[in-house]
Amino acid sequence: MAELAELVSVLKAAGEGTRVRLLALLADGAHSVKDLTEILKQSQPRVSRHLKLLADAGLVQRNAEGAWAYYSLTLDGDGAELAQWLIGHLDPEDVERRRDIERQAAVRASHTAQATEYFAKVASSWDLLKTLQVPEEAVEAAVVAALGGRRVETLVDLGTGTGRMLEVLADSYKRGIGLDSSREMLTVARSRLSGAGITHGQVRMGDIGDLDVAVGPADVVVIHQVLHYFDDPGRMLAQARRLLKPGGEMIIVDFAPHDLEFLRSEHAHRRLGLSPEQMSRWAAAAGLVVDAMQSFPSQSGQRGLTVCLWRLSDKT
């Protein structure tokens, strides 16, 4: 039970039109300040000031990543309960609310288009780019080991790219499906799988940001070097969770937190790595448990990237 002064502070923070709009937007996933200024059509200082008041009151949480910061709704506590109550009582047909939703969809579509354009440019050299950044051989061996020598019925690889994971894990599934929204990547993937004689793994066009559950159910979902392309990896993880069979598991590979801003400006990354704390929070929100995590530091003498592998499972 909140103390009177604390409750009054939270109510004051929430009791303003723009801040209620911000809460409603963040209820649908994390956003950067830049995104929110585009959606609300307000100045960056004004939006930042509103977000600070909401964060100070415990209604939202801030996660700094390099030069950017992402905001999301607080998941626990009195602030979280109040935010959910307010959002639940908003009229979805309100003109301003509908406009915000439309602009939010446009911002997300713009992000997707930027990533798709980037992937089209690098499709033919994608695997080479990855080997320049990370200890790929060790990571791939760990991905195979994560399945413990089993051969599952159905494996789904989200954001399959050139189909490398379907190739690496070919002995671990009876039926493999890779989804990607880049035609160029899928062309490379089909050529690769055909050349390797892998007939039980196939790729198809699909929006991994808006998953069709008919793709599943899957025993295993693989998300390899994908989540950092999303503003809200937790939202993506929650969607992927819907593909899993009861008792299924996920294998996630991504970068640890870093400060290489050029990956954002030149390579379409949205998040500068994912922390263990973030992954645990996103997994819990999706009804999953983090069973294990491994780290793979860069082997280069230069400022390299550390890659992490998480194994998540559905304990229901």
The closest alpha carbon to 260, from 122, 35, 117, 65, belongs to 65
The closest alpha carbon to 198, from 210, 185, 189, belongs to 189
Decide: 83 and 106 in contact? Cβ < 8 Å.
no
Task: Sketch out the chain's domains with CATH numbers.
Answer: 4-90 (1.10.10.10), 121-313 (3.40.50.150)
Distance, CA of 199 to CA of 170 (rounded, Å) = 9
Cis amide leading into 257 (omega within 30): no
Distance, CA of 271 to CA of 256 (rounded, Å) = 10
Mean pLDDT, all residues of the chain: 83
The closest alpha carbon to 312, from 226, 249, 246, 253, belongs to 249
Can you tell me which residue has the tokens 């700094």? 64
- pLDDT mean over 216-235: 92
Q: Tokens for 204?
A: 């198809």
Does 153 have pLDDT greater than 90?
A: yes
Rounded to 10°, the helix 95-122/33-40 angle is 130
Q: In what order do the strands lie in the sheet with 244-255?
A: 201-205, 173-180, 152-158, 218-224, 244-255, 307-313, 289-296
Amino acid identity of 308?
A: C
Predicted structure pTM score? 0.65
At 166-209, the pLDDT tens digits run 999 999 999 899 998 887 777 778 877 877 888 888 888 888 88
At 78-108, the pLDDT tens digits run 777 878 888 888 788 888 889 989 998 888 7
At 21-42, the pLDDT tens digits run 898 898 877 788 888 999 999 9
pLDDT at 227: 93
Return the ∠ at Cα 299 (arms to 269 and 167), rounded to 5°.
65
Strands 218-224 and 173-180: unpaired
According to DSSP H, which parts of 169-286 are helical? 183-195, 233-241, 262-267, 276-285
